[in-house]
């Protein structure tokens, strides 16, 4: 009864209190109690949500009856509730709770205002033994539990203070010594890489293809698991792995992650006793060469795996049969099987060869199965291959599944996830996130979706665009560009920081009263503070501490850093209040201390910079580093470039950079051979990158091979002349000095040419050897105006006009030469031409001095007729079958139509001199340049094939004929020389030329003996220049090319193409008398 009376009494006193409360206070009480969890729990509280529920309750629900109370009124009542509920009896406990309750923490509540409330609560709940006995047993337990809790908290606080005092007493160099403020030494600012500016550990995108340059331990953190990845991992998790003796198509557009998938699953495969084998094949002549290269690479990989299992092999080079035996031996030693990944086949130009090769792999796959070798084939390809494979019986025999492993289309959201995961993993500051704006990704998506040049849309396009911005130091694509914080944001951050009294006092002491006189030194102190935070503490044994003791001392005196003990070592780290404050800043603004502290508390300082420019050697090494990162140069070329720079740095560079004449006269001069090697290595690197065939012609060590390149360079030409004169005479010291000077100029010129060549390939995506020399001439000569943004006006228009003329001329040459070789002389071929263009051909008149054979009837065709011939001429006609189809079969319809549309628009502008319209089409010009190079390369590849392989030699008793544009296949093999009785289906339109007299020994002699090259061969600079070829060999044009085709078929000569329009002929066998 007594207990019930006490409860009733308490309830009555409570209701009296409520009755005494004013309506507004009741409303605040209801708001606090109704949202108690939200206001006190960190995991669900945020400022936005708090503002929303406050407005919803006081404005909408109560209709602004009492207005919207101030935040102080709300947290005052919340503190009162907390003190009463938790029976807080000391101010220290309240301070701790204020730092834990998010609402109170947000407003940085001063606990001094609540001392009286805490004291009254302490008196109210302080009880002696007698009072405790008067309570109900349950109330006694509650009271005792509360007392125990408070005692424990007091103990923890005491331990904390003890540990703090222990750390404070740790001996430090800073304790007893003061340090003088350092002098300001003007120093050149260090150039930082973009990832260093973003505070990343290293470049998160060292390569755009795959993950092989990234630490494997990071794979699981950076990968986005697409459907095919999940499928593979699921298969590997099964008790019985059921993927062997099968072939799968891994379908995805360029840059969607096919190589990345293999790199990701490769570390998991050996754990399941499966050995991964990656085979990347380059373009091959035919399927036989593909098979040969496949077997060679497989053997190399199997040999490498055999070393891991300590299987003895006779040598590093093993044949395919030995490889199969080793694979079987590996399976007896615990290997369950092999996953063979065929990469890069989708990048090859001639898809037909690739499909033929994959059909041939059916034999290899069957042999593996028959011999008991557990192998899985995974082939990377395009989604468009799926339909083709399903319709081809030879391909379905190899592939078991072409649909399961299809990579998803890359959306802006997926690209954002991939890039942001990579940035997060590589960030030094794990608490901060680097996010890229959503609208930036959507802009890229719209761009790739609308422009015809982007036929394939993958991650690579997004990553390339992000990297381009970062490399150019354009960080405005981030949600917050911390390199350029605006004033409003900095003021908001400053207000938050200085709402903390500890920080406010510390920063003011450092800036205004910290014993630092020079603002440059103050700025450095703040930078060191950020560095301490990013490194999560700095020990006194580090170089940073050793060099900056003065700054550490001042930071300690201002309480911004303090001592900690880590693994029995003293370290300096930022103070707890600063850590907590920075967490709030990250949460509220997405920015960390390293982003804002210096910009807020330091005025911009105009530093004294050295005017000394970056020396040439540094530029060369910088370029090498870039080429290593972007894989622009293959290993052999890059090695040769490095050799050239190494020789240059030890021989020519010291000589050229020495200005002291006395010292110069005493220096030993480099050897003539070393100077020659230095320049030739760089020349050879350019040649090998642009046209490796030239090395085949001139040899590895013949510097004169430079003369075969498509264009000469001024200083390099002078160097070669000087070298020739020096080599043919007794060498004097003055000659070496002069030659070194020429070599230095030549080296700089060649380096710029190599850099230009790599830039052109990156833009045009066509190798130099695939293009005719007149196209290369204008691209290299006018590189700056064609490719570098900023040029406009008459100069830009004139260059564009020249380029369009060269493209038009190349199309006309192809049409004329291919028609002449395939369909025959003018009177024979014209009857096969499509009707709509005959009226334009009929208008053409041969200029005086041009022979009947040399006259190009296509000279008057314009953009409309080109488009008609390649896109609209009848597909059943002979003209289309032999002249057009071989060209456009490698082009998707959308691409070829887009090219001719852009070509037509730009042609109208240049031919009608509409200069004002150029800017309107500016964005389409790079697409046009790339498309033009690709199209012309295809045209000349066809002409090359007509001469070397796509022809047939027919022997009819004592007569010999040649037909170009036709091949006879016998049992799947091309037969070049056939008897007349073996062939019946040569189309009537094809010209059948008699070459009986032409193939006599005299004519062979006339062709071969016409050696005009220092490389013991015959050179034709332009195979489409009919008049030049006639004059050179004193034979008809078609006779010359027919004779060359015949001698190739008879294996008497070797024909090399340094560029797509030039031929170099070498004899293979002696002439038969």
Q: Is the pLDDT of residue 914 over 80?
A: no
Give pLDDT tens digits for 449-491.
554 444 446 777 777 778 777 777 777 777 777 777 777 888 8
The whole-number pLDDT of residue 683 equals 94
Q: Cβ distance 247 to 199 under 8 Å?
A: no
The whole-number pLDDT of residue 1070 equals 54
Report the range out of 301-315, 384-398, 412-426, 1037-1051 with the highest average pLDDT.
1037-1051
User: Residue 342: which residues within 8 A CB-CB, separation 6 or more?
Assistant: 279, 281, 294, 377, 378, 379, 380
Look-up: residue for tokens 């002409």?
Answer: 943
Q: Please indicate whether residue 724 or residue 644 has the higher confidence score (pLDDT).
A: 644
Q: Which helix (H) or strand (E) holds 1020?
A: strand 1018-1020
3-class SS of residue 1073: coil
Query: How remote is the C-alpha of 560 from its chain's centroid?
Result: 41
Rg (CA), the chain: 40
Number of Cβ within 10 Å of residue 143's Cβ equals 16
What is the rounded average pLDDT of the residues 280-292? 76
Q: How far apart are CA 982 and CA 152, in angstroms?
A: 104
| Percentage of residues of the chain with pLDDT beyond 70 | 82
For the residues of 913-944, what is the DSSP string, one character each?
T-GGGTGGGGGGHHHHHHHHHHHHHHHHHHHH
Residue 846 tokens read as 């041969």
Q: Which helix (H) or strand (E) holds 570?
A: strand 569-574
Q: Which candidate, 509, 557, 565, 516, places its Cα nearest to that of 537?
A: 565
The whole-number pLDDT of residue 10 equals 40
The whole-number pLDDT of residue 5 equals 45
Residue 208 tokens read as 């755009």
Q: Cβ distance 806 to 932 under 8 Å?
A: no
Q: Is the pLDDT of residue 27 over 60?
A: yes
| Strand pairing class (1063-1067; 1018-1020) | antiparallel
Q: How far apart are CA 882 and CA 823, in angstroms?
A: 9
The whole-number pLDDT of residue 606 equals 38
Backbone angles phi, psi at 909, to 5 degrees: -60, -45
303 half-sphere exposure, CB direction, 13 A CA radius: 16
User: Residue 476: which residues within 8 A CB-CB, separation 6 or more?
Assistant: 469, 484
Percent helix, percent strand, percent coil in the chain, to nearest 5: 60, 10, 30
Q: How far apart are CA 767 and CA 681, in angstroms?
A: 20
Give pLDDT tens digits for 649-669.
888 888 776 544 444 455 566
* Bridge partners, 963 (sequence order): 952, 992
**Confidence tier at 1069 by pLDDT (50, 70, 90):** low
Residue 680 tokens read as 């030739």
For the residues of 191-258, what is the DSSP string, one character each?
PPPHHHHTTBSS-S-S-SS-STTS-GGGHHHH----HHHHHHHHHHHSSS---TTEEEEEE--TTSSH
Q: How far apart are CA 858 and CA 816, in angstroms?
A: 7
- DSSP letter, residue 1052: -
Q: Is the pLDDT of residue 7 over 90?
A: no
For all residues of the chain together, what is the average pLDDT? Answer: 80
118 half-sphere exposure, CB direction, 13 A CA radius: 15
Q: What is the pTM of this model?
A: 0.47
Q: How far apart are CA 140 and CA 432, in angstroms?
A: 48
Q: Which candidate, 535, 549, 698, 797, places its Cα nearest to that of 1056?
A: 698
998 half-sphere exposure, CB direction, 13 A CA radius: 23
Q: Which candidate, 494, 497, 482, places its Cα nearest to that of 433?
A: 482
Distances, alpha carbon 639 to alpha carbons 22, 282, 682, 736, 747, in Å: 86, 21, 10, 27, 16
User: Cα torsion at 677, 681, 687, 690 (round to 10°)?
Assistant: -170
Q: Cβ distance 982 to 955 under 8 Å?
A: no
The whole-number pLDDT of residue 943 equals 94
| Percentage of residues of the chain with pLDDT beyond 90 | 17
Give pLDDT tens digits for 511-529.
876 667 777 888 888 888 9
Q: Cβ distance 525 to 561 under 8 Å?
A: no
What is the rounded average pLDDT of the residues 94-98? 84
User: Residue 247: which residues within 8 A CB-CB, separation 6 or more?
Assistant: 361, 365, 376, 377, 378, 379, 398, 399, 400, 401
What is the rounded average pLDDT of the residues 800-816? 88
| Strand pairing class (1063-1067; 1053-1056) | antiparallel
Q: Which helix (H) or strand (E) holds 956?
A: strand 951-956
Look-up: residue for tokens 């008057």?
Answer: 860
Q: How far apart are CA 822 and CA 824, in angstroms?
A: 6
Backbone angles phi, psi at 951, to 5 degrees: -150, 170
What is the rounded average pLDDT of the residues 172-188? 66
Give pLDDT tens digits for 558-600.
888 888 877 778 888 888 889 899 888 888 888 888 888 888 8
What is the strand order of the sheet 246-251 is part of? 246-251, 375-381, 337-343, 274-280
Q: How far apart are CA 950 and CA 944, in angstroms?
A: 9
Q: How far apart are CA 837 and CA 873, in angstroms?
A: 10
b/e per residue, 150-183, with b = 16+ CB within 10 A?
beeeeeeeeeeeeeeeeeeeeebebeeeeeeeee
Query: How remote is the C-alpha of 288 from its chain's centroid?
Result: 33
Backbone angles phi, psi at 1031, to 5 degrees: -70, -40
- DSSP letter, residue 1051: T
Distances, alpha carbon 157 to alpha carbons 19, 95, 151, 160, 1032, in Å: 40, 12, 10, 5, 101
What is the rounded average pLDDT of the residues 145-152? 65
Least confident range from 3-7, 379-383, 531-535, 771-775: namely 3-7
The whole-number pLDDT of residue 188 equals 45
Residue 612, sorted as left (phi over 0), alpha (psi -120 to 50) or beta, turns out to be beta
3-class SS of residue 692: coil
Q: Which candidate, 837, 850, 785, places its Cα nearest to that of 811?
A: 837
Burial class (CB in 10 A: 0-12, 13-18, 19+), 402: buried
What is the strand order of the sheet 977-979 is part of? 977-979, 951-956, 959-964, 992-994
The whole-number pLDDT of residue 348 equals 77
Burial class (CB in 10 A: 0-12, 13-18, 19+), 707: middle
């Amino acid at each position: 009864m007594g207990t019930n009376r006490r409860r009733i009494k308490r309830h009555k006193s409570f209701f009296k209190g409520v009755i005494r409360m004013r309506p507004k206070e009741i409303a605040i009480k209801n708001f606090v109690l109704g949202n108690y969890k939200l206001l006190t729990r960190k995991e669900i509280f945020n400022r936005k949500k708090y503002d929303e529920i406050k407005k919803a309750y006081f404005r909408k629900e109560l209709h602004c009856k009492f207005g919207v109370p101030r935040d102080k009124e709300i947290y005052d009542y919340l503190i009162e509730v907390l003190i009463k509920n938790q029976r807080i009896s000391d101010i220290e406990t309240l301070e701790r709770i204020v730092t834990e309750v998010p609402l109170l923490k947000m407003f940085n509540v001063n606990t001094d205002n609540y001392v009286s409330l805490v004291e009254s609560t302490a008196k109210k709940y302080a009880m002696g033994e007698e009072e405790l006995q008067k309570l109900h047993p349950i109330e006694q337990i509650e009271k005792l539990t509360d007392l125990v809790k408070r005692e424990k908290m007091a103990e923890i606080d005491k331990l904390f203070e003890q540990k703090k005092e222990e750390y404070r007493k740790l001996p430090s160099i800073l304790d007893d010594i003061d340090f003088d403020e350092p002098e300001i030494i003007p120093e050149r600012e260090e150039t930082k890489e973009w990832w260093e500016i973003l505070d990343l550990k290293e470049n998160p995108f060292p390569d755009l293809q795959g993950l092989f340059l990234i630490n494997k331990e990071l794979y699981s953190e950076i990968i986005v698991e697409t459907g095919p990845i999940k499928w593979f991992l699921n298969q590997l998790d099964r008790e019985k792995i059921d993927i062997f003796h099968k072939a799968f198509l891994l379908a995805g557009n360029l840059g969607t992650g096919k190589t990345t998938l293999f790199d990701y699953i490769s570390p998991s495969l050996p754990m399941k006793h499966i050995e991964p084998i990656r085979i990347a094949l380059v373009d091959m002549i035919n399927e036989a060469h593909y098979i040969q290269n496949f077997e060679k690479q497989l053997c190399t990989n199997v040999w490498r795996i055999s070393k891991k299992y300590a299987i003895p092999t006779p040598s590093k080079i093993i044949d395919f049969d030995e490889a199969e035996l080793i694979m079987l031996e590996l399976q007896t030693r615990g290997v369950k099987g092999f996953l063979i990944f065929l990469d890069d086949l989708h990048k090859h130009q001639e898809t037909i060869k690739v499909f033929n090769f994959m059909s041939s792999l059916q034999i290899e796959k069957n042999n593996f199965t028959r011999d008991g070798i557990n192998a899985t084939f995974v082939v990377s390809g395009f989604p468009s291959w799926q339909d083709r494979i399903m319709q081809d019986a030879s391909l379905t025999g190899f592939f078991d599944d072409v649909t399961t492993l299809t990579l998803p289309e890359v959306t802006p959201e997926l690209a954002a996830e991939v890039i942001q995961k990579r940035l997060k993993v590589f960030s030094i500051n794990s608490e901060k996130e680097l996010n890229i704006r959503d609208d930036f990704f959507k802009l890229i998506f719209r761009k790739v979706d609308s422009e015809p040049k982007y036929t394939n849309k993958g991650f690579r396009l997004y990553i390339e665009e992000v990297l381009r911005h970062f490399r150019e130091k354009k960080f405005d694509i981030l949600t917050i560009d911390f390199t350029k914080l605006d004033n409003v944001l900095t003021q908001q951050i400053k207000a938050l920081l200085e709402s903390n009294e500890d920080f406010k006092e510390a920063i003011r002491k450092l800036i205004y009263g910290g014993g630092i006189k020079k603002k440059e030194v103050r700025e450095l102190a703040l930078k060191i503070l950020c560095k301490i935070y990013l490194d999560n503490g700095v020990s006194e044994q580090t170089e940073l501490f050793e060099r900056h003791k003065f700054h550490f001392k001042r930071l300690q005196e201002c309480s911004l850093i303090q001592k900690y003990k880590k693994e029995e070592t003293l370290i300096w780290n930022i103070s707890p209040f600063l850590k907590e404050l920075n967490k709030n800043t990250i949460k509220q603004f997405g920015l960390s201390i390293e982003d804002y502290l210096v910009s807020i508390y330091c005025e911009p300082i105009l530093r004294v910079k050295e005017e000394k420019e970056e020396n040439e050697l540094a530029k060369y090494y910088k370029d090498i580093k870039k080429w290593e990162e972007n894989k622009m140069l293959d290993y052999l070329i890059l090695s040769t470039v490095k050799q050239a720079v190494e020789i240059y740095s030890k021989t020519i560079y010291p000589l050229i950079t020495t200005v002291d004449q006395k010292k110069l006269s005493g220096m030993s001069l480099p050897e003539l051979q070393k100077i020659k090697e230095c320049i030739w290595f760089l020349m050879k690197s350019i040649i090998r990158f642009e046209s490796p065939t030239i090395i085949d012609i001139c040899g590895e060590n013949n510097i004169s091979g430079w003369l075969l390149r498509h264009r000469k360079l001024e200083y390099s030409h002078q160097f070669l002349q000087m070298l020739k004169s020096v080599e043919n005479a007794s060498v004097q010291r003055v000659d070496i000095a002069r030659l070194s000077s020429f070599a230095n100029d030549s080296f700089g010129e060649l380096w710029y040419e190599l850099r230009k060549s790599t830039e052109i390939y990156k833009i045009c995506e066509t190798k130099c050897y695939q293009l005719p020399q007149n196209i290369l001439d204008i691209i290299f000569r006018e590189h700056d105006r064609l490719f570098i943004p900023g040029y406009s006006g008459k100069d830009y228009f004139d260059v564009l006009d020249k380029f369009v003329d060269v493209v038009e001329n190349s199309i006309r040459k192809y049409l004329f030469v291919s028609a002449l070789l395939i369909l025959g002389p003018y009177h024979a071929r014209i009857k096969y031409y499509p009707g709509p263009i005959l009226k334009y051909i009929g208008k053409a008149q041969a200029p005086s001095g041009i022979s009947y054979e040399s006259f190009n009837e296509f000279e008057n065709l314009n953009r409309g007729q080109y488009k008609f011939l390649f896109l609209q001429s009848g597909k059943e006609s002979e003209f289309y079958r032999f002249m057009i189809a071989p060209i456009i079969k490698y082009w998707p319809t959308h691409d070829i139509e887009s090219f001719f549309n852009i070509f037509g628009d730009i042609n109208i502008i240049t031919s009608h001199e509409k200069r004002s319209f150029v800017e309107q089409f500016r964005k389409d010009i790079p697409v046009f340049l790339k498309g033009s190079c690709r199209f012309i390369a295809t045209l000349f590849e066809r002409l090359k094939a007509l001469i070397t392989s796509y022809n047939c030699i027919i022997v009819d008793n004592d007569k010999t004929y040649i037909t170009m544009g036709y091949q006879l296949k016998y049992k799947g093999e091309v037969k070049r020389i056939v008897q007349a009785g073996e062939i019946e289906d040569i189309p009537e339109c094809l010209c059948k030329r008699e070459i009986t007299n032409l193939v006599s020994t005299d004519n062979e002699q006339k062709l071969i003996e016409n050696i005009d090259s220092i490389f013991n061969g015959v050179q034709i600079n332009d195979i489409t220049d009919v008049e030049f070829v006639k004059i050179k060999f004193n034979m008809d044009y078609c006779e010359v090319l027919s004779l060359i085709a015949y001698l190739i078929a008879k294996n008497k000569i070797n024909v090399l193409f340094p560029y797509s329009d030039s031929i170099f002929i070498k004899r293979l066998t002696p002439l038969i008398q």
